Each structure stands twice: as structure tokens, then as C-alpha cells.
Structure 1
Amino acid sequence: MTTKTRYTLLLACGVLLGCSIGKHPDTKSADKGWTSLFNGKDTKDWTVKINHHETGDNFGNTFRVVDGTIQIRYDQYGNFNDQFGHLYYKTPFSYFHLRFEYRFVGKLQQGAPSYTLRNSGVMFHSQDPRTMLKNQDWPISIEMQLLGGLSDGRSRPTGNMCSPGTDVVYKGRVSPDHCIDSRSKTYDGDQWVKAELIVMGSKLITHIIEGDTVLQYSTPTIGGGIVTGHDPKQKIDGKLLSSGYIALQSEGQPVDFRNIEIKQLQGKE
């Protein structure tokens, strides 16, 4: 299956939002057109925004580069104090295929909410970090939520969807849920996990974990709740989201990211 055929098939599946695509093809053509968002040396192309701090303030050296990875750490924090943070790439995207690897390490920071244990994410279609207020907790965005297993034998899927200040259409209707679980496997321990995100503007969004399509939905719009401390002018409920910024999340759990690459796709709204 060619890359072009695959994306056409993904769009066709958008009507049902339940089609299983199966394994992602591994072909030479699929490896063309990729651009690295992270150079492995620094985050000069990225902007930090942490709750309770001004945009650009990398409080506590939260986001740091070590051994070719972006590491998220809290060793200079003390109590976490709801200092949820995000690291934004400088350019917004609309139609794209993002791929990256992540792993959870270490222990949850003191004072972080229990639900953030082995929990992080990649935000997309996000508002510009420069439009966020100092005490805004989350960006208005869509999140590809990343969860690690708790080594307790229980299922804990990753590659889920969460919707801070937004809504999505899932299985033919606007989802009433803030988060939608994927059908992925559970990944325990500190292992690296490969994740992909295929975004066709507002038409279809596909989450892929270790080559398997695990979740699809469409029609992201501004709405819902969860986000607090924001500028009301930025939250225009009902506005369709077809583009925005990509960001890596910090919410109390140490996590690493590497091999962050993007391919821009053809399409228009």
C-alpha cells in the first residue's frame, strides 16, 4: 500500500471512525519527506509555557536536553503546585504525520495529582503559547494522551484522546467524555514506545502505537471545560480547529522524548 493510498483510506474511514487500518506500512516511500523537529542538541526551536509562570520561563529547568533526548524533570521544584507545563514547537501545523518515541522514568513529583502518575501527552491544534495567561493550566488543544502501565496486571492503554477546552466527534457524535481510551496494549516499565499521529486538519485524526491504529475521531472544535485561567477571547466555543501548535506535556511525571519527526501532508479545509 502506498503512502498516498493509506491517507486516502484513512479519510474514507472518517465516516465510520471505527475502521481498523492494521499495521503501518514500512516502505521506502513512507520514509520520504520527514523533517526533524528536535535536533538532539537543544530546544531553541521550542517555547516553554508553565502554569504560574510567564511564557518562555523554563522554571526549574523542567525541559532539558540530555543524551539526545528531551527530558522532563522536576528535581528543582519542591511541591509540584499545579505547575503543568508544555513545550511548543515554533510552527503551527494543519495536515501532518507526526512520529516520536517516549518513555516514562522515575517517580511522580511530590504534590502532583495522582492521575498524572506515568501520564504525559502531546498536544496539537493548540493555541499559540503567547496567547496563554500566566495562570492558565492547560492550552486549548487536543491531546494525544500517553500512559504507562503500572505493572499491576491491569490494562492501561496509551495513545488516548483528551480534550482540554475542546470537543471531538467520536463514533458519529460529539463525545461527552473529556478523555477517550484507545484500544492499545499496555506498556509497563521504562521501555521506549513508538507513537504516531496522523492529522488531516479537522477531517480525521488517527492515533498509532507501535504500528497499530488504536483510535480515530474527527471534527475538533473549541468547547468543553477543564481549561482554567485562560483569556476568554481565546475560547470561542464552537470554532472548528483545523490547525495549531504541537507541544510536549509536563504534569508531574518524569518522561523522555526522542526522534520527533513530522511530514506535512496535502489537504485543505
Structure 2
Amino acid sequence: MKNTKLNFYNYLLLLMFTVVVFSCKSNKEIVNKTANTEEWISLFNGKDLTGWDMKFTGEELNKNYKNTVVAEDNMIRIKYDEYKEFNDNFGHIYYNKPFSYYKLSFDYRFTGEQLKGGATSNHRNSGIMLHSQSAASNEFNQKFPVSVELQLLGGLEDKKARPTANVCTPGTVVVMGNKVNYKHCIPSSSKTYYGDQWVHAEAIVLGGESMVFIVENDTVLKFEKPQIGSLEKNKYYRGENWKNWGINKKAWSAKTGDVLKEGYIALQAESHPVDFKNLKVLDLCGCKDPKAKNFKSYYVKDKPKSCIY
């Protein structure tokens, strides 16, 4: 009889232990069954420029100067069919929502010949501006937004190495090797891409922490702490070319050294025709609580207020 009671008590203890274990497991269970499914945001609807703003040097906000930017054949195309000559008509088209922590994916290709009047350095040259100021905040005669440029280059007839996915810094600087790198354009380790071929590129942007550029699945450049540049020269640095670029010194001087934590994504138009397609963003900022319905395992930056239970 004693053994029977002992076995019964052991059974109860085992049962209680099992209930507790499963109860704890249940509390930690991921509610969102699609937590690992990536939810990419398409930046282009394939039909028109809805969701984009634009600003050309010397033109009013959202004036598409000489129909430079065209939505055509499921692409955003930078074309110069209505131009006779490029006269510093720099343009940028901005997606109208800022991002902070995200992954950008896109394909690009250069086409045709550079427009007469464009700088030699802008032959097969374009870019995507990251953490950019908004289109509306540009000065009337501003050539480039204060931003971090993922510079896109194509190979030239001389067959010299010309890497793509470099970083250029209009109004900004970046940190590499624990030091501020004052060079305006820093080359990547990518190979050179010739002709009118499509090239796939990505950027992993982690707020004000770091950026990584990837070309055809190859990581080609990394840097940290993108920040507003200085108006003053030093032994390493000639100072930002604020005047030539039309950037308002007064508006930005007090922000020198401020780390850029978010901003807009903008496509560049600077005299050579270029096409963009498959433009999409994976937002890496969101609810990181596994018990929330909208939890995603790939989120990097937590946004508790966004959690849905």
C-alpha cells in the first residue's frame, strides 16, 4: 500500500512538472507563424512615380525637368531625350518615406551615351543617396542632398579598373578603421562592370551604426557612423564643398558631427542615362517580442510601440 501511494505521488509530481514545462514553453511560443518570412516593401509600383518626390537644381519641388525621370517597362528610367546639353541640371528622385534600419535591394544598368555637357567623371556614373535629407528641404539651387551616396559606376573604354558601390559623401563623412575618413569618395573592392548589363546591388543600413554595400552577393564596402561634415578645413580635410554644391552653410553648420540615424532614399540623375528596377526595402526595425503577432525574427532594431498582441 505504501509503494502504491509513493507511485501515485511520483505520478502527480511528474504530471505537475510536465504541465509547468509546457506552460513555460507556451508562454515563449512564437505567435506569428510567419516570423521568418521576409516582408519586402516595393518602392516602385511598376506603372508611375506615385510615392516619389523629385528636386532638380534650379527648379521647383516636384517639377520633372524635361521629363528626365520616366516610369517605363517596369523600370524607373533616367533619360535625356529632351535635352540638348547638360547644364548642371542635377536631379534626385526621393522615395517619400524615411527609413533607419533596413536592407535595400535593386538592379541598375547604364544605357546609351552621356549627355553633352556632363562632366567627364559623370560618364557612366549615378548613385543612390542614403540617409538623405528630404526633397522639400533642398535649397533651390542645391546640386546634391546632404546624404551618403552609394555611388554606381560603369566601366569605360580605357578598360581601367572602375569599381562600383563606392561611398561618396556630399555634406557628410564616415568612419573607417575607427577614424573619420575625410575622403569625398572611397572606392569599394568590387570588380568593374562594362557595357549595358544589369548589375544587382544591396545596402544593409543600420541606423547611425554602420552601412554595408554588396554587389552581386559580394560584400565590397563597410563603414560606420555616417555623420554631418565640417565647414572647417584641417590637415586631413579641405572642408565640404558647400558653396559649389549649393548646400546651406547656416542650416547645417550647427549639425557638424551629428550622426545620421535615418533619412530618405534618392535616385540620382547626373547626365548619363541609367535604369533602375526591382527597388525594394526590407525594414529591419519593428517588434522584437516573440509573443507579439507582428514579431519578425530578422528585426535588428526594436520598436516596442509597434507590437500587436
User: Could you tell me the TM-score, scaled by structure 2's length?
Assistant: 0.75
Question: What is the alpha-carbon distance in structure 2 between the residues aligned to residue 223 and residue 96 of structure 1?
Answer: 23
Deviations along 1:176-219, one digit per CA (max 9) or x if unpaired, are 20001000011000000000000000111000000000000010
Give the corresponding residue for 1:262: 281
2:250 is the alignment partner of 1:244: no
Matches within 5 A, 1:40-119: 40-119=46-125
Give the corresponding residue for 1:229: 246
CA shift for structure 1 position 33:
1.4
Unaligned runs of 5+ in 2: 1-33, 231-239, 285-299, 304-309
Question: What is the alpha-carbon distance in structure 2 between the residues aligned to residue 31 and residue 118 of structure 1?
Answer: 36
What is the identity, as a one-letter code, of the residue corresponding to 1:245?
Y
Higher helix fraction (1 or 2): 2
**Fraction of identical pairs, as percent:** 47
Matches within 5 A, 1:25-36: 32-36=38-42
Cα pair distance change 1:209/1:233, threshold 3 Å: same
Rg comparison, structure with higher value: 2
Native 8 Å contact 1:201 1:268 kept in 2: no
Question: What is the alpha-carbon distance in structure 2 between the residues aligned to residue 144 and residue 129 of structure 1?
Answer: 18
Unaligned runs of 5+ in 1: 1-27
Cα pair distance change 1:134/1:101, threshold 3 Å: same
CA shift for structure 1 position 267:
1.5
Native 8 Å contact 1:127 1:139 kept in 2: yes
Give the corresponding residue for 1:180: 186
Question: What is the alpha-carbon distance in structure 2 between the residues aligned to residue 244 and residue 182 of structure 1?
Answer: 23
Q: Find the partner of 2:130 among 124, 127, 137.
A: 124
CA shift for structure 1 position 48:
0.7
Cα pair distance change 1:231/1:156, threshold 3 Å: same
Aligned CA-pair RMSD: 1.7
Q: Which has the higher contact order (CA 8 A, sep 6+)?
A: 1
Question: What is the alpha-carbon distance in structure 2 between the residues aligned to residue 212 and residue 259 of structure 1?
Answer: 18
Question: What is the alpha-carbon distance in structure 1 between the residues aligned to residue 112 and residue 145 of structure 2?
Answer: 26
What is the identity, as a one-letter code, of the residue corresponding to 2:241?
I
Question: What is the alpha-carbon distance in structure 2 between the residues aligned to residue 199 and residue 91 of structure 1?
Answer: 15
CA shift for structure 1 position 128:
1.2
Count of residue pairs brought into register by the alignment:
242
User: Could you tell me the TM-score, scaled by structure 1's length?
Assistant: 0.86
Native 8 Å contact 1:51 1:135 kept in 2: yes
